[in-house]
Structure 1
């Protein structure tokens, strides 16, 4: 949409069919602080290119000058910045395009919203330009701003003058003044920093056009005194590492439209590869080049290496050019007339011989693997990582899921789960159809049994597959928990780096049943016993605070003798905190104690019995708990120490643990005695048991 066509009379250039206040609201300020400079630099590159093409002039020149003032603390305050080029200048055609919002005509990386970024960052942007038109030279000067004076005119451009010029050399100078917001990026800006930023920003373009670059000078002034001068030249640009010609073959739909035929007809493309320091190039990249310009709109990917990979500190920039690409250029910026197989126009494309983007992508990537064997190593690593991820979550192979090396684990899982969700929806729909068809069955019909059997067979096929996927996720989660348990025991977690032994005990406790929790259902106590997750319970609560179904377990008041005992020897026995208490039935209690992997567990053999005694004797009458099961769990277990400490313990040779079949829990003050069964068991033994149970699940599901 055009704001105005060419205007030669001074004054505001107002919008006819749009609101600049609305545009400024929609086109947000860039998060890149130097974006106005990049926009102006892009315009200079484009203006020089047009001037070279039209007038046969030399490579051109761009001068960027930074003006700052030195403050008393030897820091600097940004004042202004100018970019001057000797390109074609703002002739009527270029000025008209500049004043066309979202212009889609051809231009090097010009997004059509650069002027909006000018006014977002600076109160005043002044552009002075001399150009040749109708064999005369003219000067045009205009100012950009979004201050109220401009917006009240529904304009951001004010043409100051348009006149015949005595200058006979085209140029354009852009001056940015009066930052709207204080910025350390600009205050710290100098020639060296700006040079580095420009090289990083325009690396693709510089690499391909290193021998055709205009002369680029950067100057840094302090108080109008030149302090430093830099130049971007061919020597600053990475030199290509390798050049290779690859063949790309045409395709055509067969006569019966049953398949795609690869033809002998081909095109040659030149692949220019650069090894660039990872400090200079953020991502590995593959770009098409059309007539010397990087085509940003056509997406083409490296398939053997992700954007983030680096090899020996280098990233790879791959630029692909050739007559075929040049001939497929269009009038729309950043777009080539090269179809995709999956694109909406692919059917039309097959009516004639064609080359698809995917063909170019495959040919280039195949060629790169031959040029750089080290990429093959990276490729295999990604393939192994994907295989491990699929094995970890029991994901079946699915040819319909397209995985890119640039996909992180989260995106890969999302893709598989999205595909799985579609399949499950289809399964559910088929189940629903079978159930709906039951309404149509006639029990008195001669073929009733046959029709019913058909529907039963359909359900028999789909329901197991649906259940298998659900159970696979269940088993996959358990597998991850077991792997984490193993890492804790092996001290391989980063948090265990300080050698804190108490931390290891806490990690194990929280893995199995989170401390201060009452939600045993979501715990991982199944590692000890499958049934434990179904029992009411709590983790590390004081005895006096225990509740079952909202009712306090321990009494609120005690007689004199009970009080004496509970607080004797300077202790308060009711504030003891068992690691885990579970209540499977009204008269039963499970007591679990975790010990650091580094302590001798035999030193704590009576701890569980003490808890059992307190629960047996000092709880409310509603809780007549007489049967106890104790589990003392650690890693430092010496069987002879255990049996020497408590003689009722016996050794189980099946799974390497000790157990006491029954010990008496004495009832005080005429209370009936209780009993306790106790196991002393290693964490590693629990892990072995749990892994075996999980592997049985996996075998039943047919998972390797």
Structure 2
């Protein structure tokens, strides 16, 4: 050879596994018309990889002059399905491969290693037998990645999966083939099925495959052909989904074991002439551009979905339930979810694909310089989708808040509603809308000018443009949990509305809950003197979990229940703003239960979501109708 074998092996096969030694050896044996292939693995123990020897023999045509000459030249291939480099993978794993080949009247021996230079010893075939033996010696790697590369049962399964199209073609043509895999070891590991054992595969044992075809819309001449088998075996599900390229199977993840019912053994192989010659060096991937690959995957899913409906009719109802659940949970992606993939592909992948289509469609609209009537309708539809996505986010926040327990820290509740030590401004980043969840209290609080979380009263003064305030004690905590400030006029800050909110941890004793009223009164003393001149309206809210004792305590304090389906009590509280003159003003205090706050938020959110879902549904119907009328 004109190049160094080990360097060529590293170049062509940078990322392989030991099983590729089996694959390439078998491929060569099949090319040589072998009908019997034996793989013998010998190793002292799994922990001693340096003792690994592999012998692979067949009864094929052998290394006659023509085959030997091809072997000596890298990239020498007869057709586009062969690359002429497969044997280089041997050098990745072994120091040398001793080859002993009997064919017709001759017997050829040679050693394939890094220094191989086309030299061989050729004698007469006195035994008149036909066989080729490859002995792989001097394992190079420091370890063996997995027992699977040595266990006969696993190797047999991987060989069938890898060569299934070619093996099935042999079955159809009544060409015999038997492959035997054996393991000999001096240190067994039953837990890993690593024991002296052997497995035999016969091509005649392959199941009969059915066929389904569809035209390739990207080509004038090509078509896709699906070969498949579906068996109810009452065992754990097994599914092979792959495309056939260069007589090898290239795995494509179509059926999710997670979402598909157990008890079925399935084989799906997608064929197309356009796949041939497109495999990578290791034959485990196909070199198609992203657009072509998406088209292939879409066709594959469509065909497999059709087969599943035909072969397993009862699954249709189950898939419809999954589809309805996806539309309920992700209404903003309605119309982008691939219905054919439902029940086959993992739900997370379905949503990711739909999200990608959604973003691409958005991008197309945003980049349009002028909007057609159809694009205008789409822009309205996307507005509904974007708003729906936000309302769904709010639903998750409510769910998380409802999941809070007495073990949850007050900080957790606080941070979910408005993160502590944060300021939010009406002209701030759009991402603020996904952090500031003051809407949990009331949707009108989304039209704020400023939201201050866990900030000193003095910072509130700064925002509303005043200085100083009476403080009864230096130790008084002047940090409301949440302060929401609204401008009287968006273009002017002469007068403002202010909302003060205090939270209490769930599960507190009555004394700690009663502190809520005291805290609100403290906040009022330091702000009410600016009412109604600078602050035209001001509300004080306390939020805690309610029990009978706390409710009675509030009633004793003069709080009265508001007309509501939940627990909301209010009181017009006199507040002394000057301890010397004892001048008094009134502040409205509201105490509501944590449960009531969440139920009100959930009710509002559900209404929004129902309206938006219907809007998206109608938009899709109109767009689909316009699209069909265009033809």
TM-score after normalising by structure 1 = 0.63
1:282-327 CA distance string (max 9 Å, x none): x55266699xx55549x8x96xx54654422655224689xxx9xx
Superposition pairs of residues 116-195 of structure 1, within 5 angstroms: 116-122=88-94, 124-132=95-103, 135-144=105-114, 157-159=116-118, 161-164=120-123, 168-180=129-141, 182-183=142-143, 185=145, 193-195=151-153
Say if 1:366 and 1:331 are closer, same or farther in 2 by CA, change over 3 A.
closer
Aligned twin of 2:200: 233
1:344-363 CA distance string (max 9 Å, x none): 9xxxxxxxxxxx99999867
Aligned twin of 1:530: 443
Contact 1:239 1:274 in 2 (8 A): no
Contact 1:485 1:687 in 2 (8 A): yes
Q: CA deviation at 1:171?
A: 0.8
1:449-474 CA distance string (max 9 Å, x none): xxxxxxxxx89x86675355235313
Aligned twin of 1:85: 57
Aligned twin of 2:39: 63
Say if 1:470 and 1:401 are closer, same or farther in 2 by CA, change over 3 A.
farther
Q: Please state whether the residue corresponding to 2:316 is helix, strand or coil.
A: helix
- In 2, the alpha carbon distance for the partners of 1:275 and 1:591 equals 64
Q: CA deviation at 1:505?
A: 5.0
Q: CA deviation at 1:173?
A: 0.8
Aligned twin of 2:482: 580
Counterpart pick for 2:261 among 311, 314, 333: 311
- In 2, the alpha carbon distance for the partners of 1:697 and 1:228 equals 60
Counterpart pick for 2:319 among 335, 356, 379: 379
- In 2, the alpha carbon distance for the partners of 1:115 and 1:552 equals 81
- In 1, the alpha carbon distance for the partners of 2:580 and 2:336 equals 69
Aligned twin of 1:486: 399
Contact 1:592 1:630 in 2 (8 A): yes
- In 2, the alpha carbon distance for the partners of 1:251 and 1:502 equals 59
Aligned twin of 2:501: 592
Aligned twin of 2:29: 48
Contact 1:139 1:162 in 2 (8 A): yes
Counterpart pick for 1:503 among 408, 427, 432: 408
Matched, 1:699 2:582: no
Counterpart pick for 1:285 among 208, 226, 241: 241
Contact 2:244 2:275 in 1 (8 A): no
Say if 1:315 and 1:247 are closer, same or farther in 2 by CA, change over 3 A.
closer
Aligned twin of 2:285: none
Aligned twin of 2:629: none
Say if 1:375 and 1:318 are closer, same or farther in 2 by CA, change over 3 A.
farther
Counterpart pick for 1:515 among 420, 424, 437: 420
Contact 2:231 2:266 in 1 (8 A): yes
Counterpart pick for 2:161 among 203, 208, 230: 203
Contact 2:365 2:379 in 1 (8 A): no
Say if 1:267 and 1:43 are closer, same or farther in 2 by CA, change over 3 A.
closer
Counterpart pick for 2:352 among 395, 410, 416: 410
Superposition pairs of residues 205-604 of structure 1, within 5 angstroms: 205=163, 208=168, 212-222=176-186, 229-234=196-201, 240=207, 271-274=228-231, 281=238, 283-285=239-241, 294=248, 296=250, 305-306=255-256, 308-312=258-262, 314=264, 316-318=266-268, 332=277, 366-391=306-331, 393=332, 395-397=333-335, 405-406=344-345, 407-426=349-368, 429-430=369-370, 466-486=379-399, 488-489=401-402, 491=403, 501-503=406-408, 506-519=411-424, 521=432, 522-533=435-446, 534-540=448-454, 543=456, 565-566=473-474, 572-574=475-477, 578-584=480-486, 589-599=498-508, 604=513
Q: CA deviation at 1:185?
A: 2.7
Q: Please state whether the residue corresponding to 2:562 is helix, strand or coil.
A: strand
1:575-599 CA distance string (max 9 Å, x none): x764323344677643212234545
Say if 1:235 and 1:643 are closer, same or farther in 2 by CA, change over 3 A.
farther
Contact 2:410 2:506 in 1 (8 A): yes
- In 1, the alpha carbon distance for the partners of 2:551 and 2:274 equals 84
Q: Which runs of 5+ in 1 are unaligned?
A: 1-12, 54-58, 145-149, 151-156, 253-259, 261-265, 345-355, 432-457, 567-571
Q: CA deviation at 1:218?
A: 1.8
Contact 1:616 1:624 in 2 (8 A): no
Q: Please state whether the residue corresponding to 2:408 is helix, strand or coil.
A: helix
Contact 1:627 1:675 in 2 (8 A): no
TM-score after normalising by structure 2 = 0.69
Say if 1:68 and 1:275 are closer, same or farther in 2 by CA, change over 3 A.
farther
1:400-459 CA distance string (max 9 Å, x none): 998675343112211232124324433xx215xxxxxxxxxxxxxxxxxxxxxxxxxx89
Q: Please state whether the residue corresponding to 1:676 is helix, strand or coil.
A: strand
1:500-547 CA distance string (max 9 Å, x none): 513275544332112343347441111213343424333345x48967
Aligned twin of 2:623: none
1:463-489 CA distance string (max 9 Å, x none): 675355235313431233224413542
- In 1, the alpha carbon distance for the partners of 2:414 and 2:499 equals 16
Q: Please state whether the residue corresponding to 2:262 is helix, strand or coil.
A: coil
Q: CA deviation at 1:681?
A: 2.0
Aligned twin of 2:191: none
1:625-676 CA distance string (max 9 Å, x none): 8974221223425585254242043422477522224442544456865543
Report which stretch shifted further, 162-171 or 544-553: 544-553
Superposition pairs of residues 21-32 of structure 1, within 5 angstroms: 26-27=11-12, 29-30=14-15
Contact 2:152 2:183 in 1 (8 A): no
Contact 2:6 2:91 in 1 (8 A): no
Contact 1:553 1:619 in 2 (8 A): no
Say if 1:137 and 1:579 are closer, same or farther in 2 by CA, change over 3 A.
same
Say if 1:686 and 1:620 are closer, same or farther in 2 by CA, change over 3 A.
closer
- In 1, the alpha carbon distance for the partners of 2:608 and 2:10 equals 61
- In 2, the alpha carbon distance for the partners of 1:118 and 1:620 equals 87
Aligned twin of 1:633: 543
- In 2, the alpha carbon distance for the partners of 1:699 and 1:473 equals 14
- In 1, the alpha carbon distance for the partners of 2:458 and 2:177 equals 78
Matched, 1:613 2:570: no
Say if 1:331 and 1:91 are closer, same or farther in 2 by CA, change over 3 A.
farther
Q: Please state whether the residue corresponding to 2:52 is helix, strand or coil.
A: strand
